[in-house]
């Protein structure tokens, strides 16, 4: 039995190069009722973003090619109301991106519990843009 997102589901784009983590994020957020697309790179996330709008970008910071900070900057330039959350073992690098952080981006450090992820996403979604 698959759970389809509700019409009011939040659209989330995940960019994560680690296969296991990407699947974990996809499954966790889908089970929480969100409409989730998960991509293995910043470049593939940009292509996916061009096919529709998203409410939240959930991205790793360190990825080969386009990193998560550059991905966030690019997507935020096209979609000023986009919320951004970095999930990373490199929180320091994410926090140095003050232009993104000042626009409300959050950092969730790896490893994290599923409940922390879902709670942080719900908090971001509920916050005014």
Nearest 5°: the CA angle 70, 72, 78 is 110
Q: What is the pLDDT of residues 12-34, one digit of tens each?
A: 999 999 999 999 999 999 999 99
How many CA atoms lie less than 13 Å away from 78 in the CB half-sphere? 15
Looking at the domain assignment, is residue 3 inside a domain?
no
Question: Residue 114, exposed/middle/buried by CB under 10 A (0-12, 13-18, 19+)?
Answer: middle
Where residue 78 sits, what CATH number does that domain have? Answer: 3.40.50.2300
How many domains, the chain? 1
Q: What is the mean pLDDT of residues 96-101?
A: 84
Question: Residue 50, exposed/middle/buried by CB under 10 A (0-12, 13-18, 19+)?
Answer: exposed
**Mean pLDDT across the chain:** 89
Looking at the domain assignment, is residue 5 inside a domain?
no
* Containing structural domain, residue 17: 11-121
Looking at the domain assignment, is residue 128 inside a domain?
no
Per cent of the chain over pLDDT 70 is: 94
Residue 5 has pLDDT above 70, yes or no: no
Closest CA to 108 of 51, 60, 65, 56: 60
The pLDDT-based confidence of 1 (bands split at 50, 70, 90) is very low
């Amino acid at each position: 039995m698959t759970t389809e997102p509700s019409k009011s589901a939040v659209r989330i784009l995940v960019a994560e190069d680690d296969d296991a983590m990407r699947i974990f994020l996809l499954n966790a957020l889908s089970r929480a009722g969100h409409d989730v697309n998960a991509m293995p790179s910043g470049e593939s996330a940009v292509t996916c973003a061009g096919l529709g709008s998203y409410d939240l970008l959930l991205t790793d910071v360190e990825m080969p090619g386009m990193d998560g900070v550059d991905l966030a900057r690019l997507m935020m330039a096209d979609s000023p109301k986009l919320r951004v959350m970095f999930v990373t073992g490199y929180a320091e690098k994410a926090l140095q991106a003050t232009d993104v952080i000042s626009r409300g981006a959050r950092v969730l450090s790896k490893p994290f519990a599923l409940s922390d992820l879902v709670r942080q996403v719900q908090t971001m979604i509920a916050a005014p843009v």
